[in-house]
């Protein structure tokens, strides 16, 4: 796995993975609070036991514009159950000490602004979070918010897409902490029949300008997708909507955890 630059805890976790000969990290995503916070806590423990190398946890938001119907519905269920940012962080404070893998928190910018960037990043760090992803962070605000994240010893993971101009992509990779997140498609999250063939070129393009780990997300839902992206040289594969569906759309939390375990093990197995 590519070495990350000397920035914070996410980097340290990645270096531990290097020592364990992890070629491509398995990074599952869940929405916090779907179907409830207790089940989310159990799901985090389960994914850790299934071999997750990093877990991405989403703070539910009322207008998740970058997400497709599966994660939108998941966020709506979580919000209706009272999954506030404070409740998410409270749960994480209890669970993260039990996990062997780092947690990266995904939050839209609105909840961060309401709490205040300095307060939010400090609270996230106190909850055991090691990195942040803010999909709607305005480009002009990146430097300021990154400074707040660094003050709290958090990595700010930045995203680049197939539509990102080359010069901006270079700036994004330079500023990104923890890893660089390649969005594999133009559009929202959600399963696709196959991986966009342009991802291979995007990976090569990004790796030419950075030695940081480069991870790919959006539209990944099958073991074949995972294998393909790993063969193209990705340092990590992020599985979102398909993972959320296993847990959030089950008939009961118990069934959801069973489905999640089976699915997670199949995706992890594709990387072994």
Write down the catalytic residue from 67, 148, 205, 235.
67
Active site residue 56: yes
For 118, counting Cβ atoms within 10 Å of its Cβ (0-12 exposed, 13-18 middle, 19+ buried), the class is middle
Active site residue 94: no
**CA distance linking residue 157 with residue 142, whole number of Å:** 11
Specify the 3-state DSSP secondary structure of 117: helix
Token couple for 1: 């796995």
Write down the catalytic residue from 34, 48, 53, 56.
56
CA distances from 40 to 30, 188, 247 (A): 8, 23, 9
Task: Count CB atoms within 10 A of the CB of residue 108.
Answer: 23
Note whether 247 and 213 are within 8 A (CB): no
DSSP code string of 21-61: T-SSEEEEEEETTSS-HHHHHHHHHHHHHTT-SSEEEEPP-
Positions marked active-site: 56, 67
């Amino acid at each position: 796995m590519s070495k990350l630059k000397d920035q914070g805890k996410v980097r340290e976790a990645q270096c531990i993975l290097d020592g364990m000969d992890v070629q491509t990290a398995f990074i599952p995503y869940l929405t916090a609070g779907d179907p409830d916070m207790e089940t989310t806590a159990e799901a985090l423990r389960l994914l850790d036991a299934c071999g997750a190398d990093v877990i991405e946890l989403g703070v539910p938001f009322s207008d998740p514009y970058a997400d497709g119907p599966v994660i939108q519905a998941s966020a709506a269920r979580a919000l209706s159950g009272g999954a506030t940012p404070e409740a998410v962080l409270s749960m994480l404070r209890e669970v993260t000490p039990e996990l062997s893998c780092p947690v990266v928190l995904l939050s839209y910018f609105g909840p961060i602004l309401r709490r205040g960037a300095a307060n939010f990043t400090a609270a996230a760090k106190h909850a055991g979070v090691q990195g942040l992803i803010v999909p709607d962070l305005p480009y002009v605000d990146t430097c300021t918010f990154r400074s707040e994240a660094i003050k709290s010893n958090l990595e700010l993971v930045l995203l680049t897409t197939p539509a990102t101009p080359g010069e901006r992509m270079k700036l994004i990779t330079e500023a990104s902490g923890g890893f660089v997140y390649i969005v594999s498609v133009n559009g929202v999250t959600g399963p696709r029949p196959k991986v966009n063939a342009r991802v291979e070129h995007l990976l090569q393009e990004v790796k030419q300008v950075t030695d940081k780990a480069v991870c790919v997300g959006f539209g990944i839902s099958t073991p074949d997708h995972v294998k393909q992206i790993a063969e193209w040289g990705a340092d990590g594969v992020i599985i979102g909507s398909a993972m959320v569906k296993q847990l959030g759309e089950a008939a009961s939390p118990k069934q959801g955890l069973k489905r999640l375990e089976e699915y997670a093990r199949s995706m992890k197995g594709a990387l072994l």
